[in-house]
C-alpha cells in the first residue's frame, strides 16, 4: 500500500461527476469510489510511530482490554466460591494468557494487530459447571473454587483439540470461502452491535461516572479540530486523558464519602476501592501450568465448552476481517484464517494447561481502538503484550489499574464497539445496494443476528447458565444455548443460508463475489505476502500446510 515518506497514507481523491447531463433523480454530488483500504490511517499495519508513542499506544491497548478481564472475573469467581485473592489470581492468569496468545497471533497467526482477550462466550458453559457443583459438599468455598477451576481446565483442553484440527486441517479456510461481502456485512457489524449490553446498560450502573466519560470521549473529537496543535495528541491519546480525568473524579467522590450510604451494588460499580484487588493481589506471582491442580474431564462440560470454542472462532474471524480493514491491510486470505484459528486452538490448549477461567477471542474493543486512534501498527499491539505479561506477574501494579470502575470501560465500549459495527457496514460499498434481494438478506441477517441471541440471553438463568433449549441431553443444551447466544454466529448462519440459496447464481455480481474471491486466495492479490507472510525467514522452515 502506498505511503508517503513519513509513513502517512495519501489522502483520498474525490471523483466529481459532470456538472450536467444527469438523468431525473440522478446523483448531483461528489461520488466516492469503493476503496479496498482505508486511506485516512496515519500508520498502517507495517508502519510505526515513534518508540515513545508506540509505548503509550501499547499501554492504551492494555487498559482497553482490561475491562472485560475484570468484568468476567468479577462475575464468575464469586459464584465459584472464590475470595478476593482468588479473583486477583484469576485476573493475573487471564492477562498472562492474553499477552502470550496475542504475541503468538501477531507473529505466526493472522499477523494482524489484534489483541486476544477474555471471551464472554465461555461464561455460559462455565456457569453450567458452577451449577453442577453447587449441590456438592465442600469443606470451604475455596475448595469448591479449586474443583471448579480444575473442571474448566479439563474442558478447555479437550475443546481446544477440535479447534486445532479444523484450523490446521484448513477446514476453516474452506468454510470461509463461502463468505461473501453480503455475509461479511452482518457478521462483522454484529460483532460490535451484538455487545450492546456491555455499553450503556453497564454505564448506567454508575451514571455519574460513566456518562461524563462518554461525553468526554465525544467532546475530544471536536476539541482536536479546534486546537490544531493538540490534534495529534488528542487523536492518539485522548482516551488515556479521558480515563485519567474521570478516574480522578471517581476517586474524589469515593474519598468525599459520596458512596458511603448507598447499596452494595452501587459501591461495587462506583467506588475505586471496592474491588479489593490491590489488597488481595500478590506482589509477584508467575502463572504456571496446572496451578489449580490436575484437570478434571467430564463429557457434559466438555461439549458446552466446545460450543463456546466454535463461537469464539466465528467471532474472531469477523473481528480479524474488521482489524484488517482498520489496519490498512487487505482482507485476510483463507489460509491465514485457517492458521489463525488453528493457533487460536493452541491458545485454548495453553489456557487449559495454565488454568484460565475462560478462553480468549479476538478483542473487539481493541480493534475499535485502531479506528479511534487512526493507527493500525502491528508493533503497537506486539508491545502491548509486554504490559499484559508484566502486570500479570507484578500483581499489585496490575491491580491498581484493574480498580478503574467498570462504567468507565462501558463508556469506552459505546464508542469502540460502534466503530467496529460501522466497519461491517463499510463492506456494503462492494455490493449492489439497490438490489432488493440484497437488502432482504442483509436486513434479516442483521435483525435475527441481534434478536435471537437477545431471546436466549433473556431466557437464560444467569446463576446456572441454563438457556431456553432444555432437552434431556445436557451436552446438547449447552452447545446450542451457547451457539445461539452469539450474535456473530447467528448472523453468519442466517447470512450464509440466505445468500447461497436465494437466487445466488443470477446475482453473483450484485453480491460482490468478483471483488471478494481474489482476496481469498494465497496469491490472489500481490499485497497478501506484504501483510501476512511470516516474519524473517520463518516461511522457509514452516511446512506450507501450516501456513
Q: What is the pLDDT of residues 301-314, one digit of tens each?
A: 898 899 999 999 99
Per-residue pLDDT, averaged over 274-286, amounts to: 88
Helix (H) or strand (E) holding 374: none
Whether 65 is in a domain gets the answer: yes
pLDDT of residue 473: 77
pLDDT of residue 14: 45
Whether 44 is in a domain gets the answer: no
Helix (H) or strand (E) holding 20: none
Number of domains in the chain: 1
Whether 251 is in a domain gets the answer: yes
Q: Is 10 exposed, middle or buried (0-12, 13-18, 19+ CB in 10 A)?
A: exposed
Q: What is the pLDDT of residues 438-474, one digit of tens each?
A: 999 999 999 999 999 999 989 887 766 678 888 877 7
The DSSP 8-state label assigned to residue 375 in this structure reads: B
DSSP character string of 309-362: HHHHHHHHHHHHHHHHHHTTPPPPPHHHHHHHHHHHHHHHHHHHHHT-SS-EEE
DSSP character string of 137-171: --SSHHHHHHHHHHHHHHHHHHHHHHHHHHHHTSH
Mean of pLDDT over the chain: 90
Closest by Cα among 111, 86, 199 to 531 = 111
pTM given for the model:
0.92
Higher pLDDT, 422 or 264: 422
pLDDT of residue 241: 95
pLDDT score of 106 more than 90: yes
Position 4 confidence tier, pLDDT thresholds 50, 70, 90: very low
Whether 20 is in a domain gets the answer: no
Position 1 confidence tier, pLDDT thresholds 50, 70, 90: very low
Beta bridge partners of 116: 362
pLDDT of residue 25: 53
Whether 143 is in a domain gets the answer: yes
503: alpha, beta or left? (left if phi > 0; alpha if psi -120 to 50)? left
pLDDT of residue 28: 72
Q: What is the pLDDT of residues 175-234, one digit of tens each?
A: 999 999 999 999 999 999 999 999 999 999 999 999 999 999 999 999 887 877 778 899
Whether 15 is in a domain gets the answer: no
- Could you tell me the residue range of the domain that residue 120 belongs to? 51-531
Closest by Cα among 382, 391, 535 to 55 = 382
Helix (H) or strand (E) holding 455: helix 436-458
Q: Are 345 and 160 in contact (CB under 8 A)?
A: yes
Whether 471 is in a domain gets the answer: yes
Per-residue pLDDT, averaged over 511-521, amounts to: 90
Q: What is the pLDDT of residues 15-73, one digit of tens each?
A: 444 444 445 555 577 888 888 888 889 999 999 999 999 999 999 999 999 999 999 99
Whether 413 is in a domain gets the answer: yes
Position 373 confidence tier, pLDDT thresholds 50, 70, 90: very high
Residue 362 dihedral angles phi and psi, to the nearest 5°? -65, 125
pLDDT score of 239 more than 90: yes
Amino acid at each position: 500500500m502506498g505511503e508517503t515518506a513519513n509513513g502517512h497514507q495519501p489522502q483520498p481523491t474525490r471523483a466529481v461527476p459532470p456538472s450536467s447531463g444527469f438523468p431525473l433523480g440522478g446523483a448531483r454530488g461528489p461520488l466516492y469510489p469503493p476503496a479496498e483500504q482505508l486511506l485516512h490511517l496515519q500508520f498502517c499495519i507495517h508502519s510505526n510511530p515513534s518508540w515513545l508513542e508506540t509505548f503509550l499506544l501499547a499501554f492504551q491497548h492494555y487498559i482497553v482490554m482490561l475491562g472485560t478481564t475484570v468484568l468476567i472475573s468479577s462475575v464468575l469467581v464469586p459464584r465459584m466460591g472464590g475470595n478476593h485473592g482468588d479473583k486477583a489470581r484469576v485476573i493475573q492468569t487471564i492477562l498472562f494468557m492474553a499477552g502470550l496468545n496475542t504475541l503468538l497471533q501477531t507473529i505466526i497467526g493472522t499477523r494482524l494487530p489484534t489483541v486476544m482477550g477474555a471471551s464472554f462466550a465461555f461464561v455460559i458453559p462455565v456457569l453450567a459447571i458452577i451449577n453442577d457443583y453447587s449441590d456438592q459438599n465442600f469443606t470451604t468455598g475455596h475448595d469448591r473454587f479449586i474443583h471448579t477451576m480444575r473442571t474448566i481446565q479439563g474442558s478447555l483442553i479437550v475443546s481446544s483439540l477440535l479447534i486445532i484440527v479444523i484450523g490446521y486441517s484448513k477446514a476453516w479456510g474452506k468454510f470461509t470461502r463461502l463468505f461473501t461481502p453480503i455475509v461479511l456485512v452482518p457478521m462483522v457489524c454484529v460483532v460490535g452491535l451484538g455487545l450492546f449490553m456491555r455499553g450503556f446498560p453497564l454505564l448506567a450502573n454508575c451514571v455519574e461516572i460513566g456518562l461524563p466519560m462518554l461525553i468526554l470521549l465525544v467532546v475530544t473529537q471536536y476539541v482536536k479540530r479546534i486546537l490544531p496543535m493538540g490534534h495529534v495528541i488528542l487523536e492518539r491519546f485522548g482516551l488515556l486523558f479521558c480515563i485519567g480525568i474521570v478516574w480522578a473524579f471517581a476517586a474524589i467522590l469515593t474519598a468525599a464519602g459520596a458512596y458511603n450510604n448507598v447499596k452494595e451494588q452501587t459501591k461495587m460499580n462506583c467506588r475505586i476501592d471496592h474491588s479489593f484487588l490491590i489488597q488481595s493481589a500478590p506482589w509477584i506471582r508467575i502463572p504456571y501450568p496446572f496451578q489449580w491442580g490436575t484437570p478434571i474431564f467430564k463429557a457434559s462440560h466438555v461439549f458446552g465448552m466446545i460450543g463456546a470454542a466454535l463461537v469464539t472462532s466465528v467471532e474472531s474471524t469477523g473481528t480479524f476481517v474488521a482489524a484488517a480493514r482498520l489496519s490498512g491491510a487487505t482482507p485476510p486470505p483463507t489460509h491465514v484464517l485457517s492458521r489463525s484459528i488453528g493457533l487460536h486452538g493452541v491458545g485454548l490448549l495453553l489456557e487449559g494447561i495454565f488454568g484460565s477461567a475462560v478462553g480468549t477471542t479476538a478483542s473487539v474493543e481493541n480493534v475499535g481502538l485502531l479506528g479511534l486512534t487512526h493507527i493500525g501498527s502491528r508493533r503497537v499491539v506486539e508491545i502491548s503484550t509486554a504490559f499484559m505479561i508484566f502486570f500479570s506477574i507484578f500483581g499489585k501494579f496490575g491491580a491498581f489499574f484493574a480498580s478503574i470502575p467498570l462504567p468507565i470501560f462501558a463508556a469506552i465500549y459505546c464508542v469502540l464497539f460502534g466503530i467496529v459495527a460501522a466497519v461491517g457496514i463499510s463492506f456494503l460499498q462492494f455490493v449492489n445496494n439497490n438490489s432488493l434481494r440484497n437488502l432482504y438478506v442483509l436486513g434479516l441477517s442483521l435483525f435475527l443476528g441481534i434478536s435471537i441471541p437477545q431471546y436466549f440471553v433473556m431466557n437464560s438463568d444467569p446463576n446456572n447458565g441454563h438457556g431456553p433449549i432444555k432437552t434431556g441431553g445436557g451436552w446438547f443444551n449447552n452447545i446450542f444455548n451457547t451457539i445461539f447466544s452469539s450474535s456473530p454466529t447467528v448472523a453468519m448462519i442466517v447470512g450464509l443460508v440466505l445468500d447461497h440459496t436465494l437466487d445466488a447464481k443470477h446475482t453473483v455480481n450484485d453480491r460482490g463475489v468478483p471483488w471478494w474471491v481474489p482476496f481469498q486466495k494465497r496469491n490472489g492479490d500481490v499485497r497478501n505476502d506484504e501483510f501476512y507472510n511470516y516474519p524473517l525467514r520463518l516461511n522457509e522452515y514452516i511446512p506450507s500446510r501450516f501456513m
